[in-house]
Amino acid sequence: MKRMTKRVSVIVGSLRRGSFARKIAHNLIPMFPEGYEAKIVEIRDLPLYDFDYDDPEVTDKPVPAEYTEFRETIKASDGVLFVTPENNRTIPACLKNAVDIGSKPNADVAWKGLPAGIVSHSVGRMGGYSSQKNLRLALSYFDMPTLGQPEVFLSQSPELFGDGDKITRESTVEFLQKYIDRFAELIEKTQPRLVFAGA
C-alpha cells in the first residue's frame, strides 16, 4: 500500500509582489511534512465574479478559462491554506473574489468539504483578526473543516523578517511549524488518499 502525495493549495490574499502575506506563505510551504506538495495558486488574473457566467439561461457569456482552471485546481487539492492581510477590517477584495468564484456553480462547489488553514497578519497589533474572522464566516458555508485552535494572528508583520524574506523570530517559526503540523493532521483525518500498489 502506498500513500499518494497530498496537495495543498496556498491562497495568498494580496496581489502585491513583495507583500508580507506572500513572504509568510513562502515560509510556510517548506514546513509541510514529507508527502505533501504545497503550492501558491495565483488569484491575480481571476476576472471579477459575475453570476451570468454560471447562469445556464445566459448563453452569450461563457465561463472564463481562468474560472475553470482555478476551480479544477482547488477541487484536486487535499486542503487549502489561506494567508491573508487585513484590508479595512475585512478580507482583501481579491480574496473574496476567489472565494466567490470557487463557490459556484451551486452543484459543484470547489471548496466543499476541503480542510482549510488560515494565517492572517497585519502591520499593526491585531494580526489581521477581523480578516480572519470574516474569512472563517465565508468558509463556514462550504462545510470546510478548520482548526479551532491555535488561531494564527501575526502582528507587526514587517518586524518578522528582519532584512530578508525569512521569518527570524524563533518562537514564531516554532509556533507556525506546530500549526502546519496540526493542519496536516487535519488533512490526514478528513482527506485520506490511499492507493494500493501492485504486488
* Low-confidence winner among 19-28, 94-103, 159-168 (lowest mean pLDDT): 159-168
Is 90 exceeded by the pLDDT of residue 197? Answer: no
Q: Locate cell 491562497: which residue?
A: 11
Could you write out the DSSP letters of every residue in 83-111?
A: EE--BTTB--HHHHHHHHHHT-SGGG-TT
Task: Write the pLDDT tens digit of every residue in 143-194.
Answer: 999 998 899 999 999 999 988 899 999 999 999 999 999 999 999 999 665 4
pLDDT exceeds 90 at position 81: yes
Q: Is the pLDDT of residue 70 over 80?
A: yes
Q: Using 50, 70 and 90 to split pLDDT, how confident is the model at 41?
A: very high
CB neighbour class for 8 (10 Å; exposed up to 12, middle 13-18, buried from 19): buried
Answer yes or no: is pLDDT of 199 > 50.
no
- What gap in Å lies between CA 161 and CA 8, rounded to an integer? 24
Query: pTM for the complete prediction?
Result: 0.93
Residue 1, pLDDT > 50, answer no
Give the mean pLDDT of the chain: 92
Q: Exposure pattern of 84-116 as b/e (b: 16+ CB <10 Å)?
A: bbbbeeebbebbbbbbebbbbeeeebbbeebbb
What is the percent of the chain with per-residue pLDDT over 70, rounded to a whole number?
94
Closest CA to 104 of 141, 146, 135, 60: 141
pLDDT tier for residue 196 given thresholds of 50, 70 and 90: very low
Q: Which helix (H) or strand (E) holds 68?
A: helix 65-75
The arithmetic mean of pLDDT across residues 76-105, rounded, is 96
Q: Residue 133: pLDDT band by 50, 70, 90 thresholds?
A: very high
- Reported confidence tier of residue 4, pLDDT bands at 50, 70, 90: confident
